[in-house]
Amino acid sequence: MPLYHSSVYDRAFPVNSYWETTDAPIESDCPPLSEVQSCEVAIIGGGLTGLSTAWHLAREYGIRAAILEAGVPGWGASGRNGGFCCVGGTALRYPQLIQRFGRSETQRYYQEQREAIDLVRNLAEAEGLAIDPQGEGEILVAHHPSRQKALEADYAFFTEVAGYPCALWSPQKLSESGFSSPEAHAALKIGVGFGLNPIKYSRGLARAILQRGGKIHGQSPVIAWEKSGATHLLHTSGGSLHAKTVIVATNGYTDDRLHPNLNGRLLPALSQIITTRPLTLAEQAAQGWHTETPVSDTRNLLFYYRLLKDGRFLFGSRGGTWGSPTESQRHQTWMIRRLGELFPAWKGVEISHSWNGLVCLAADLMPHIGQFPQDPSVFYALAYHGNGVAAATWSGRSVARWVAGKMTQDDLCAVFRQPLQRFPLANLRKGYLRSAYLIYGLLDRSG
């Protein structure tokens, strides 16, 4: 049984994201799979993980993969996220990473996250993708005065260990260089990252793959998976794909029944976004807003926001725990109220779009790149904990290298290569999430 309401998985149910209005449709370029076809490498899932894998296989190694995607390329989280191309991947903070993996492996992880952001820029440039880059770096805002100390510790880590250019901003500097809000008390400016248009990036990458001779079958959910000798048989309602190698790139939309090796190992969570109508320059000035750099805050259940190219304001938060249209509507009402509290000058402004989607958590809160234990012909890359624009692109490149025999698992940073464990009492996963939201909500309110 899928963990959320059926509308969350229904590819015919309107996503209603603002991004969809900004790019041309891609359906007709990605016909569904028909009859029986064969390929060397099959990829299940046409989000950034699958697309980056296919692009790197084609461009770097001349291997033409076929992607099976249940919707259209980028239909999942990849085409509907906040567009923060920033440091991410894990939900663990650096003290926990250092405790578990040591200082040098943690340092390596953060260096690779920086490379991941450069990879997105370079890939977009190489293919001439109009991804609408905005801002320079990322702003992390103390939502309560008590969080300023934590920002100082973050500053020390990011400058001394990660080697990122960073600056601590006083409340005055924040209002001069960023914005003003009753819930913003000082900030850490991390000089790594930028904002982009996720649907232009995902579909652009898909079009580049098609131009390089790769195949993308849209509306082709894998509904059964068998193995005959060394050949995988992936069945869809329209046909079957036979392949020697399979890559699982289904992230938060993974159905527990897809394969026993994935069952109970992932916890999808909803994230929700609203956008305002375009704000005039005078309206932006009324809130003291003058940055295009993406912003998130120090809450455990954080808000993330950015001004878009056409003056719209994008405001994101965690979503509900059920996913029904009624719950999403209720959550939207709460988000509109909170938007008005954080940015009083925009209270009551018209909301143009509201949508949600699934991010993906693993039991150990780390991203995973791996191979099935009993079947080295199956690879996977997933669980970026709501921060996968850069991390999925980077992971897709790693999987492509691995499949092409250019690296082994030992070449991965330790943070990525841990076994993908089943959640204890996996049927209670949603209960864990609800409990975490309750506790984190209380902690966030207390400062």
CA distance 61 to 140: 39
Q: How many residues bind ligand FAD (CB under 6 A)?
A: 45
Does 90 contact ligand FAD by CB under 6 A?
Answer: no
x/- site string to ligand FAD, residues 5 to 34, per CB under 6 A?
A: ------------------------------
Q: Which helix (H) or strand (E) holds 250?
A: none
357, 368, 394, 402: which one contacts ligand FAD (CB under 6 A)?
A: 357
Helix (H) or strand (E) holding 377: strand 375-382
Cα separation, 141 vs 394, whole angstroms: 27
Structure-block tokens of residue 373: 């234990």
User: Which of helix, strand or coil describes residue 151?
Assistant: helix
User: What tokens appear for 87 in the block?
Assistant: 């440091």
| Residue type, position 138, single letter | E
Q: Binding marks (x or -) toward ligand FAD, 182..221, rule CB under 6 A? A: ---------------------------------------x
Scanning 99-107, 141-149, 174-182, 381-389 for contacts with ligand FAD by CB under 6 A, the matching segment is 381-389
> Does 392 engage in binding with ligand FAD (CB under 6 A)?
yes
Q: Which residues pair with 371 in a beta bridge?
A: 379
We find the least distance from the C-beta atom of residue 68 to ligand FAD, in angstroms, to be 5
Q: Which of 133, 135, 214, 386 binds ligand FAD (CB under 6 A)?
A: 386
What are the DSSP calls for 307-328, one per residue?
A: E-TTS-EEEEEE--SS--HHHH
Residue 423 DSSP class = P
- Closest CB to ligand FAD among residues 391, 413: 391
Nearest one of 222, 227, 248, 193 to 380, comparing CA atoms = 248
Handedness of CA 441, 85, 105, 161 (dihedral sign): negative
Indicate the residue among 69 and 154 with the shorter CB distance to ligand FAD: 69
Nearest to 309 by CA among 282, 340, 336, 279: 279
Window 259-278: residues binding ligand FAD (CB under 6 A): 271, 273
Query: In the set 39, 41, 42, 48, which binds ligand FAD (CB under 6 A)?
Result: 48
Q: Which one, 181 or 202, has the nearer CB to ligand FAD? A: 202
Minimum distance, C-beta of residue 285 to ligand FAD, in the bound complex (Å): 26
Q: How many CB atoms lie within 10 A of CB 213?
A: 9
Site string for ligand FAD, 305-344 (x = CB under 6 A): -----------x----------------------------
Tokens standing for residue 103: 């200082």
Select from 142, 184, 206, 249 the one that contacts ligand FAD (CB under 6 A): 249
Q: Which is nearer to ligand FAD, 279 or 382 (CB)?
A: 382
Q: Which of 368, 12, 357 is nearest to 202 (CA)?
A: 357
CB of 222 to ligand FAD, least distance (A): 4
Give the DSSP letter of residue 162.
Answer: I
* 135 DSSP 8-state letter: -
CB of 115 to ligand FAD, least distance (A): 15
Q: What is the DSSP letter of 77?
A: G
Judged by CB under 6 A, the residue of 389, 399, 412, 433 near ligand FAD is 389
**How many angstroms separate the CA atoms of 394 and 412, rounded?**
11
In this complex, which beta carbon is closest to ligand FAD, that of residue 45 or of residue 323? 45
Nearer to ligand FAD, 185 or 240 (CB): 240
Q: Which is nearer to ligand FAD, 185 or 335 (CB)?
A: 335
Of residues 358 and 362, the one with the C-beta less far from ligand FAD: 358
Nearest CB to ligand FAD, comparing residues 143 and 368: 368
CA distances from 446 to 146, 177, 300, 317, 331 (A): 9, 28, 12, 18, 22
DSSP characters over 185-219: --EEEESS-EE--HHHHHHHHHHHHHHTT-EEESS
Which residues of this protein are in contact with ligand FAD, per CB under 6 A? 44-50, 68-71, 75-78, 80-84, 88, 221-222, 249-255, 258, 271, 273, 316, 356-359, 382, 384, 386-389, 392
